[in-house]
Structure 1
Amino acid sequence: MYRFLLAPRWLALHLVVLLAVPAFLLLGKWQFSRYEMRSAAQERTQANLAAPAEPLERLSTVGGSVDAKLKYRAVTVGGRFDAGNELLVRRRTLNGKVGYYVLTPLVVRDGEAVLVVRGWVPMGPTAEAAPKVPPPSTGEVTVTGRLMPAETEETTGISERSGLPQGHIMLIDTAALGKRLPYRLHGGYVQLGSQNPPAANAPTPLPDPEPDGGGALNLAYSFQWWVFIPIAVGGWFVLIRREARDRRAAAEAASTGKNAESPEKVTG
């Protein structure tokens, strides 16, 4: 009765099921690992956002780098803004609008500085027009903001470009920018939250990140892939039972037909 399972089309179905089950299992595990990774990152972000501010020197060194685990940690640093070496970071969005980050070096002592994103400004009326950028405060200021790792093409998805207008950059790459500035830079950069004394006029401040659900969608996807496993196996079993039932019914019908014909042949 079950010899039909060796037919070519059934062998093909067996192969599909045998390949689908481990594939669904692995895809579910991959989505679950993404959920764990994103949940851990979200927990770390929330902890960093809630941590009290610390002096910049405790978390970032001159000529060093900032670990991604320190992203969004609050820091304080004092110094003087260097308006002459201010830069505009292109293709940055805020509230759905494209503009620039205003990146200004803060000289903390002779020969040393930290890059500070003072905020965001919108594009000019045309792509070639320069945006209106409020100048930085003069004199000594104390900045409180979020510590950020240096940007790369891999972490941002933004490609570096040549031939940009003077003072324009694509990435806040601390190591690369240190080669064009007249002082040594602290690792990473600071996203300004507030300064003392306050600026009379300033770019639009950047908001703190909002929770993204911590990978809840990945968790749902992992369970979805795993649910496909019993569906695939159950569907395969149902198809086999249905085929066997149909074949059994056909055999019984054929047998009944033969039995019905036999008396007529004897009588004839």
Structure 2
Amino acid sequence: MYRFLLTRQWVILTLLGLALIPTMIELGFWQFHKHEHRVEQNALISRNLDAQPVPVTDLTSAGHTVPRSDYWRTVTATGTFDTEHEVVVRRRTSDDDRIGVHVLTPLDLKDGGTVLVNRGWVPAAPNQTSFPDVPPAPRGEVTVTGRLKADETTGSSGIKDLAGLPERQVMLINSEQQSQLLSRKVLGGYIEQTEPVPSGDLPEQIARPDDSSIGPHMAYAVQWWLFVAAVPVGWIILVRREKRDREEAAAENATADAPEQPEPASA
């Protein structure tokens, strides 16, 4: 009755279904773990943004790698901006997805040391080799408040660190690179400035990170697991349909092959 399952076509179809099941289960768990990571990150962002501000030197130092547990912590730093060594970070987008640059200005701390401050976004110069028009940083001693971020690397950001860029232009915000350029020690990581707020429209400050959206990952996980259930159900439906079609074909052949009954002789 089910000998057709041993045919080449059905063996391949069955093996394909058996291979798809564990693959789709794994894809479902992959999306589920991404969902868990997003939920955990949202909790970390909320917790760190709501924490009381602390001096930046309490959380980082020269050569220090900012741990993930300290990402987005609100920190303060008091010092003087070194605008002479200000650089711009290429290929950065504004909140409305315009391409421009981030303004990265060293802040020489009152108590010694230097920390990098991302003052925000400005449009790029029409000529990519030129330095854009950047509003000046506040003069004199200033207290900066912002979110602590880790140094960017190609591995962590996906941004390729290009060589041969025009003067005072970089691809990554990286304290080690800037320390070499400045020839002095720079605190690990950088500050994403939130205060003081610029007097004009520029630089546009970096928006608060999203800590409410969980994304579509859980829905994708459920979708993959529903596909897992659909494979055996679909296989059974196909088997039953094949069995029915074969039985109907066999019945039709039997009817066609049956000998015709002779007509009775007339009186």
TM-score normalised by the chain length of structure 1: 0.89
Q: Which amino acid aligns with 1:2?
A: Y
Q: Which residue of 2 aligns with 1:251?
A: 250
Aligned to 1:58: 58
Contact 1:41–1:214 (8 Å) recurs in 2: no
Where 2:195 maps in the other structure, the secondary structure is strand
- Structure 1 residue 253: deviation in Å? 3.8
**1:72 counterpart residue number:** 72
User: Deviation of residue 111 (structure 1)?
Assistant: 5.1
Answering whether residue 163 of structure 2 is matched by residue 165 of structure 1, we say: no
Deviations 1:124-181 (A, max 9, x none): 2333443111222222111111101000112222111122111111111111211121
Which amino acid letter does the alignment assign opposite residue 4 of structure 1? F
Asked if residue 36 in structure 1 is aligned to residue 20 in structure 2, the reply is no
2:71, 2:148 within 8 Å by CA — same for their partners in 1? yes
1:208-265 CA-partner distances (Å, limit 9, x unpaired):
12346224x1111111111112211111111111121222233334445556x36439
- Say what the alpha-carbon RMSD is for the aligned residues: 2.3
Aligned-partner Cα distance in 1 for 2:120–2:229: 53
Shift of 1:75: 0.4
Give the Cα separation in 2 of the matches to 1:117 and 1:177.
Answer: 13
| Distance in 2 separating the partners of 1:154 and 1:239 | 47
Letter in 2 for 1:185: V
| Aligned mates of 2:233, 2:120 — CA distance in 1 | 57
| CA–CA distance in structure 2, aligned partners of residues 199 and 139 of structure 1 | 15
Q: What are the equivalent positions in structure 2 for 1:1-268 lying under 5 Å apart?
A: 1-94=1-94, 95-109=96-110, 112-195=113-196, 203-211=203-211, 213-215=213-215, 217-256=216-255, 261=259, 263-264=261-262
1:54 Cα deviation (Å)? 1.3
Change (3 A) 1:182 1:200: farther
Query: 1:265, 1:240 → 2: CA distance?
Result: 42
User: Matched residues in 2 for 1:132 and 1:78: separation?
Assistant: 25
User: Aligned pair count?
Assistant: 263
Q: Secondary structure at the match of 1:72?
A: coil
My pick for the range that moved more, 15-24 or 202-211, is 202-211
Give the SS at the match of 1:179.
helix
What is the CA distance between 1:186 and its match in structure 2? 1.0
Please list every run of 5 or more consecutive structure 2 residues that lacks an aligned counterpart in the other structure. none
Letter in 1 for 2:176: A
Where in structure 1 are there 5+ consecutive unaligned residues? Answer: none
**TM-score normalised by structure 2 residue count:** 0.90
Report deviation, 1:86.
Answer: 1.2
Shift of 1:107: 0.8
**Distance in 2 (alpha carbons) for counterparts of 1:41 and 1:239:** 44
Alpha-carbon distance in 2 for matches of 1:11, 1:168: 61
Rounded to whole Å, the distance in 1 between the matches of 2:107 and 2:89 is 16
Distance in structure 2 (CA, Å) of the matches to 1:199 and 1:15? 64
Give CA-to-partner distance per residue, 1:190-219, whole Å, 9 cap, x none.
Answer: 011113xx765662222212346224x111
Q: What is the letter of the counterpart of residue 103 of structure 1? A: L
Q: Distance in 2 between matches of 1:265 and 1:9?
A: 46
Identity percentage of aligned residues: 39
CA distance in 2, matches of 1:7, 1:148: 61
Q: Read off the aligned partner of 2:220 and give its amino acid letter.
A: Y
